[in-house]
């Protein structure tokens, strides 16, 4: 998976995820929108045959969009770890 920065400014970030899917983009969007410092977060898949989704984040205040994105990624990792542990527990009972 490769990430291309399409736009980066003080309060906006637009990236393209080569080989990305709706699943990862939807997870990131949901976690970004939970952040009170995020003004807008969304993603788009410009063409269904060219599966390179674009994620866009716009911030309120002085928080950097890349910091919010990293925070969202960490929340996704934590949720994934928690799910894995619960699944292991459920299957080993």
Q: pLDDT digit string (tens) for 3-27?
A: 999 999 999 999 999 988 888 999 9
CB 65 within 8 A of CB 86: no
**Which CATH number belongs to the domain containing residue 69 in this structure?**
3.30.1360.10
Domain that holds residue 48: 2-91
Overall domain count for the chain? 1
Q: pLDDT digit string (tens) for 67-87?
A: 999 999 999 999 999 999 999
Question: Model pTM?
Answer: 0.86
Q: pLDDT digit string (tens) for 23-71?
A: 899 999 999 999 999 999 999 998 877 779 999 999 998 999 999 999 9
Residue 15, CA atoms < 13 Å, CB-side half-sphere: 18
Helix pair 65-91, 22-33: axis angle to 10 deg: 110
Kindly indicate the confidence band of residue 89, based on its pLDDT and cuts at 50, 70 and 90. very high
């Amino acid at each position: 998976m490769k990430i291309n920065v399409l736009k980066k400014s003080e309060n906006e970030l637009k990236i393209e995820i080569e080989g990305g899917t709706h699943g990862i983009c939807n997870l990131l969007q949901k976690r970004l929108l939970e952040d009170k410092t995020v003004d807008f977060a969304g993603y788009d898949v410009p063409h269904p045959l060219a599966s390179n989704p674009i994620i866009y984040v716009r911030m309120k205040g002085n928080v950097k969009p890349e910091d919010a994105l990293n925070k969202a990624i960490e929340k996704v990792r934590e949720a994934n770890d928690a799910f894995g542990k619960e699944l292991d527990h459920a299957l080993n009972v």
